[in-house]
């Protein structure tokens, strides 16, 4: 998506199509929102937001909890939509998209309740008779441009904190997954006050139209190219922005790693959702002493994973969500083969299904190693120890997450400090993205946005300091200025430096100065 000064008008006649990735059958179309509908959605949110903000935090949380419980209760309906639209396996869809709303909401409530707000302790000597507190004030209307790869769960980290803090929202789901995200948002809108939750459908032009409307903040999740355009628009408009972009996450396997468990972990996090996750394992840097063994284990495991059966849908790997994504992965595979990589298993697609694919003999300059793949491919690069692997990760285009696999946890923690990424996990990978209490952020082309944790709250709310002075007397440093005030200032500076020989004069000068200010202004 580009960011022209005048965004392209959404085409109301456009229908969002799509196919079921499992069988290539067309899905019922969804009508794209017109420019007028985008405007109305934002205006509706603007009108509804003050009443939502007026509710106590506990009341907002209670309503959202009701919605989360309804999402859980009606999960079968949502799961069926998710599977038809993006092709996830039943188990993957259940665990990643359906089981999380209540836990996520409780986590976000805890994050917000523990935010640094409330009364502030002020020094009674420096600030006599003064009190202060900090409040979090909602931004107002938050626009959310959502991803397709986790069309329900990908909304928890923006929708829940935005609403808990008292904002109204306008969400544009990906044109790849309007039905799944739309199901989630419909249930929320049916539980919450009218106008609090709004949705517009369409492609990038609708996202541009939303950015051009009267919103106060934007949360974007998607590619680096589009995210950078979103950031520019938000900066020019002076609105808060959090953009989470791509990733090319590495698993670094040390020579002493438990290879059985490491293999299981890498296979899980490389192939979940067909590898279509920003935090997926997309490259493995293996110590040369165990690289061959690891490749053999990865190959054996991936060969034994089963494709879902047409009748029951039970299986351990999913299709890619759409043809363009498969074409990208196959292009990277072809480039790697041409440059000497060996396909140990997989590599040939059937429809949108690409079996789990393991590549050996990869080098850091291959596209499949350097670029984000977003597919069920595990390229293995043999390295001369972890130091070389760390250098490759830090020299990479992205910097979202990485994992270290070793029995020496202390060594891993030292290596973690050297990795220039947002999240490092030792002996596991990626699961932290579902924990509201932990920040999820990146470096370089992975973006500057922060999802999860109190570090993400500024995009949804701004801090307001409220200070009350209960003093009846004026401050001794107020005008009119005189020699007593200058002497007082020098004595205070000496006291801070520990020079206390003349400190006895400070209270005398303070009283003298207060009298002088009172006399000047005619105060009693």
Length reported for the chain:
524
CA pseudo-torsion sign 198, 204, 208, 211 = positive
129 contacts: CB under 8 Å, gap ≥ 6:
469, 470, 471
d(Cα 422, Cα 426) in Å, to the nearest integer? 14
> In 281-378, which residue ranges form alpha helices assigned H by DSSP?
291-304, 323-338, 367-370
d(Cα 345, Cα 390) in Å, to the nearest integer? 27
Helix (H/G/I), strand (E/B), else coil: 159? helix
The DSSP string of 479-515 is SSP-HHHHHHHHHHHHHHTT--TTTTHHHHHHHHHHH
d(Cα 358, Cα 295) in Å, to the nearest integer? 8
Catalytic pick from 241, 278, 302, 362? Answer: 278
- The answer to whether 292 is a known catalytic residue is no
Both tokens of 389, joined, read 């692997």
The region that residue 98 occupies, defined by phi over 0 for left and psi between -120 and 50 for alpha, beta otherwise, is alpha
Both tokens of 194, joined, read 């009218």
Element containing residue 256 per DSSP (H, E): none
Both tokens of 455, joined, read 């570090």
- The answer to whether 65 is a known catalytic residue is no
386 contacts: CB under 8 Å, gap ≥ 6:
252, 254, 285, 287, 404, 415
CA 327 to each of CA 20, 126, 247, 467: distance values in angstroms, whole numbers, following the listed order: 17, 66, 19, 59
Q: In terms of C-beta density within 10 A (0-12 exposed, 13-18 middle, 19 or more buried), how is residue 392 classed?
A: middle
Q: CA torsion 480→484→489→492, rounded to 10°?
A: -140
Catalytic pick from 85, 97, 175, 244? Answer: 244
Among candidates 459, 412, 407, 401, which has minimal Cα distance to 434?
401
Rg for the chain, CA atoms, rounded: 28
Q: CA torsion 123→126→128→133, rounded to 10°?
A: -50
Q: In terms of C-beta density within 10 A (0-12 exposed, 13-18 middle, 19 or more buried), how is residue 310 classed?
A: exposed
Question: Which residues is 217 bridged to in the sheet?
Answer: 142, 240
> Looking up tokens 């002076």, which residue turns up?
238
- Whether the ω angle into residue 24 lies within 30 degrees of 0, i.e. cis, is no
List active site positions: 244, 278
């Amino acid at each position: 998506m580009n960011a022209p000064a005048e965004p392209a008008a959404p085409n109301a006649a456009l229908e969002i199509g799509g196919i079921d990735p499992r069988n290539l059958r067309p899905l019922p179309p969804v009508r794209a929102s017109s420019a007028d509908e985008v405007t109305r959605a934002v205006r509706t949110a603007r009108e509804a937001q003050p009443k939502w903000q007026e509710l106590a935090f506990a009341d907002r949380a209670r309503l959202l909890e009701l919605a989360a419980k309804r999402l859980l209760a009606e999960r079968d309906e949502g799961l069926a939509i998710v599977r038809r639209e993006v092709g996830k396996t039943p188990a993957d869809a259940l665990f990643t998209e359906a089981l999380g709303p209540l836990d996520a909401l409780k986590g976000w409530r805890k994050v917000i309740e523990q935010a640094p707000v409330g009364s502030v302790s002020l020094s009674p000597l420096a600030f006599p008779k003064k009190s202060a507190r900090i409040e979090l004030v909602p931004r107002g209307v938050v626009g959310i441009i959502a991803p397709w790869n986790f069309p329900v769960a990908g909304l928890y980290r923006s929708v829940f904190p935005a609403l808990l803090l008292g904002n109204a929202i306008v969400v544009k789901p990906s044109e790849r997954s309007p039905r799944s995200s739309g199901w989630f948002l419909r249930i929320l809108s049916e539980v919450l006050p009218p106008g609090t939750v709004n949705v517009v459908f369409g492609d990038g032009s609708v996202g541009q139209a939303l950015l051009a409307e009267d919103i106060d903040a934007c949360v974007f999740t998607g590619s680096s190219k589009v995210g950078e355009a979103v950031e520019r628009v938000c900066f020019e408009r002076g609105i808060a922005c959090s953009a989470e972009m791509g990733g090319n996450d590495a698993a670094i396997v040390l020579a002493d790693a438990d290879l059985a468990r490491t293999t299981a972990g890498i296979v899980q996090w490389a192939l979940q959702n067909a590898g279509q996750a920003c935090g997926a394992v997309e490259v493995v840097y293996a110590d040369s002493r165990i690289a061959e063994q690891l490749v053999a284990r990865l190959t054996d495991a991936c060969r034994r994973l089963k494709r879902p059966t047409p009748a029951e849908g039970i299986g351990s790997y999913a299709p890619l969500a759409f043809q363009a994504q498969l074409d990208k992965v196959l292009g990277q595979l072809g480039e790697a083969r041409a440059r000497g990589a060996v396909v140990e298993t997989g590599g040939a697609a059937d429809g949108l299904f690409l079996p789990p694919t393991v590549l050996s003999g990869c080098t850091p300059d291959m596209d499949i190693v350097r670029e984000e793949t977003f597919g069920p491919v595990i390229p293995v690069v043999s390295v001369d120890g972890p130091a070389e692997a760390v250098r490759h990760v830090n020299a990479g285009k992205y910097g979202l997450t990485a994992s270290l696999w070793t029995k020496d946890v202390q060594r891993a923690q030292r290596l973690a400090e050297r990795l220039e990424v947002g999240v490092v996990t030792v002996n596991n990978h990626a699961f932290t993205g579902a924990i509201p209490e932990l920040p999820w952020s990146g470096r370089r082309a992975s973006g500057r946005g922060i999802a999860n944790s109190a570090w993400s709250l500024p995009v949804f709310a701004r801090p307001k300091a409220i200070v009350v002075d209960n003093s009846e007397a004026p401050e001794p440093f107020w005008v009119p200025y005189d020699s007593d005030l200058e002497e007082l200032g020098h004595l205070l500076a000496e006291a801070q430096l520990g020079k206390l020989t003349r400190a006895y004069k400070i209270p005398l000068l303070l009283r003298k100065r207060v009298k002088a200010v009172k006399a000047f202004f005619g105060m009693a």
